[in-house]
Amino acid sequence: MSNIKMRKEWWLSIRLIHWSVVISVFSLMVSGFYIATPLSITAGPTADKFLMANVRTIHTFFGFLLTFLMIWRAYLGLFANFHARWVDLLAWTDLGNLLAQVKFYLLLSDEKPKHKHQYGPLQSLAYTGLILLQISIILTGLIMVGANFHAGLSAGIGTFLKPLEIALGGLAGVRLIHHMVAWGFILFVMIHVYMAIWVDIVYKEGTISSMISGRVFRKVE
Ligand code: HEM
Ligand code: HEM
């Protein structure tokens, strides 16, 4: 006999951050790939040709928003006393459970991995990878923003990050790395959304709606 128990899985702050990150990343992808291969506008007065500058302003706005959201999420992960803390990123260190999850996903075993942390072992690896992607794209992005200013906060950040800019081979190297990491985000989103749908269908615990309502529904034996 099994009954279903409701559990509060995601706090409002985490859900707000999640969907704001989604909006930022999608806006950054669209504006970023436009910056990489812009339209060539030839006819008309120069004063009307402002599309690239507008797209760059949008990109920089969402870039700073993503930076702020990441600092907020890191603060919660380190200091808040609810779920989804930094220790949950270590779920993959339980190698037995990691193997159990790989076998379950490859349909080699019908035994589900144990739910010891907020994240599953593979999920914790994916989120660790995402954090590395976020840090790389934010640092390279901030260097490029800083290069456009001679005074103020952006210029100050640019000066602070100068040693990193030099280590990466100057602005051209920074731009190339920023562009390559952007593809890492596309890879993450594809796998992440596929897995969210897969887990929702297979586990039947309301995974996708949990990121909206905050609640999952687990079977208790
Ligand atoms: C998911 C996050 C992001 C994605 C997918 C993304 C994507 C891109 C892409 C594809 C480019 C074009 C590179 C090229 O010319 O080949 C670009 C340029 C740029 N990005 Fe991002 N970016 C992201 C985050 C950020 C952040 C966080 C910042 C800053 C805070 C930022 C600032 C910039 C700047 C300043 C440029 C150069 C614009 C120019 O050439 O004038 N980006 N981005
Ligand atoms: C740029 C796109 C996305 C990024 C960067 C992202 C990132 C994340 C992160 C970091 C988490 C863990 C929550 C935390 O502890 O902060 C998460 C969870 C989740 N995301 Fe996303 N996400 C994205 C898009 C989406 C989309 C489009 C969906 C809708 C299908 C989605 C559905 C979920 C769900 C259902 C969870 C909870 C998974 C669970 O039960 O463990 N995400 N996402």
Specify the long-range contacts of residues 127-132, CB closer than 8 Å, at least 24 apart: 127/89, 128/89, 128/92, 129/184, 129/188, 130/188, 131/89
Q: Return the sign of the alpha-carbon dihedral for residues 165, 168, 169, 175.
A: negative
Fold category of 3-220 in CATH = Fumarate Reductase Cytochrome B subunit (1.20.950)
pLDDT, tens digit (0-9, with 9 covering 90-100), for 171-186: 999 999 999 999 999 9
> How far apart are the C-alpha atoms of 160 and 162, rounded to whole Å?
6
Please, what is the end-to-end C-alpha distance for the chain in angstroms?
Answer: 6
Q: Where are the domains of the chain?
A: 3-220
Q: How far is the CA of 104 from the centre of ligand 1 (A)?
A: 38
Q: According to the model, what pLDDT value does residue 160 have?
A: 97
Q: Is the beta carbon of 61 within 6 A of some atom in ligand 1?
A: no
Confidence at residue 63, expressed as pLDDT on a 0 to 100 scale: 98
Predicted model pTM:
0.92
Give the pLDDT confidence score for residue 221 in this predicted structure. 66
Q: How far is the CA of 127 from the centre of ligand 2 (A)?
A: 9
| Residues of the chain under the 50 pLDDT cut | none
* Contact assessment for residue 212 and residue 18, using Cβ atoms and an 8 Å cutoff: no
Distance of CA 113 to CAs 98, 140, 208, Å? 8, 37, 19
Q: Whose CA is nearest to atom 19 of ligand 2?
A: 211
Name the closest-CA residue to atom 15, ligand 2.
Answer: 84
Distance CA 79, CA 199 (A): 29
Please list the residues that pair with 87 across neighbouring strands.
none
pLDDT, one tens digit per residue, over 151-206 is 999 999 999 999 999 999 999 999 999 999 999 999 999 999 999 999 999 989 99
**Residue among 109, 71, 73, 112 at smallest CA distance from 89:** 73
pLDDT of residue 133: 98
According to DSSP, the residues that pair with 220 across neighbouring strands are 3
Token output for 17: 């951050």
Angle (CA) 211-77-30 rounded to 5° is: 55
Residue nearest to atom 2 of ligand 2 (CA): 22
